[in-house]
Amino acid sequence: MLLSIPDVLSPEQVAEARRALDRAAWVDGVVTAGHQSARAKNNQQLPEDSETARRIGELVLAALQRNPVFMSSALPLRVFPPLFNRYKGGQSFGTHVDNAIRQVPGTAHRVRTDLSATLFLSQPDEYDGGELVVEDTYGVHTVRLPAGSLILYPASSLHHVKPVTRGARVASFFWIQSMVRDDGERTLLFDLDMAIQKLVRETPDHAAAVQLTGVYHNLLRRWADL
């Protein structure tokens, strides 16, 4: 499933993040690249231990916790602490696949990357190019979202970022280990949840809503790993 989630951050939160990020010290993005993707990667990144990355990362994590569409679609077990990147002056990231397992820096925790996420922090009119291009079994998807919006996609997919030919593209990126590792099962649960919510909104007292909610939880119980 490829899902865009609007307004994960409010305009005020985007402005706060950008004020901090635009003042921060950026380094070559190759620091978090795996062996193969290091050759494709050409961008800037905030060091993982930077105070700004930690503070704005916590703002992002808190916003995710409050977002019902994120919680329902990702069913997160662990979220990797958000990282931040910037592309400008023709920088790009060639086709690659994200590492399957990520060690959380400074801890003994590892995250299996079931889902990849990019949270856009530049408005589309601030830069040219910079599209995220994701290849999945249904074809090639080109993504460029307003600041504050998030794209979620299977971490197993090949993807790249096109060259930024004007301005700067600032984003947060991170990975999610889901309670439901299989993308197909997770998608079914999300579709079912959305349908139940629609039923409850339109026909609040329909008896089938309780039965369907039972089906949802029984499927989740069957498929979830904690």
> Strand pairing partners for 96?
159
R_g (Cα) of the chain, nearest Å: 18
Ranges of H-type helices in 30-135: 51-65, 68-74
Residues in the chain, overall count: 226
Q: Is 114 near Ni ion (CB under 5 A)? A: no
**Cα 169 to the chain's mean position, in Å?**
16
Provide long-range contacts, Cβ within 8 A and 24+ apart, for 39-42: 39/94, 40/93, 40/94, 40/95, 40/96, 40/160, 41/93, 41/94, 41/96, 42/91, 42/92, 42/93
Closer Cβ to Ni ion, 98 or 114, answer by number: 98
Q: Exposed, middle or buried by CB within 10 Å (0-12, 13-18, 19+), for 220? A: middle
Instruction: Supply the minimum distance, in Å, between the C-beta of residue 221 and Ni ion.
Output: 32
Q: Is 183 near Ni ion (CB under 5 A)? A: no
Instruction: Supply the minimum distance, in Å, between the C-beta of residue 98 and Ni ion.
Output: 4
Which residue of the chain is nearest Ni ion when measured via CB?
Answer: 98
Site string for Ni ion, 44-83 (x = CB under 5 A): ----------------------------------------
- Check: CB of residue 96 under 8 Å from CB of residue 103: no
Instruction: Supply the minimum distance, in Å, between the C-beta of residue 57 and Ni ion.
Output: 17
CA dihedral (161, 77, 99, 2) positive or negative: negative
Instruction: Supply the minimum distance, in Å, between the C-beta of residue 192 and Ni ion.
Output: 29
Closer Cβ to Ni ion, 15 or 133, answer by number: 133
- Stretch binding Ni ion (CB under 5 A), from 43-51, 96-104, 129-137, 195-203: 96-104
Instruction: Supply the minimum distance, in Å, between the C-beta of residue 175 and Ni ion.
Output: 9
- Stretch binding Ni ion (CB under 5 A), from 5-13, 21-29, 49-57, 94-102: 94-102
Number of residues counted as binding Ni ion (CB under 5 A): 1
Instruction: Supply the minimum distance, in Å, between the C-beta of residue 134 and Ni ion.
Output: 10
Q: Is 98 near Ni ion (CB under 5 A)? A: yes
Q: Which residues bind Ni ion (CB under 5 A)?
A: 98
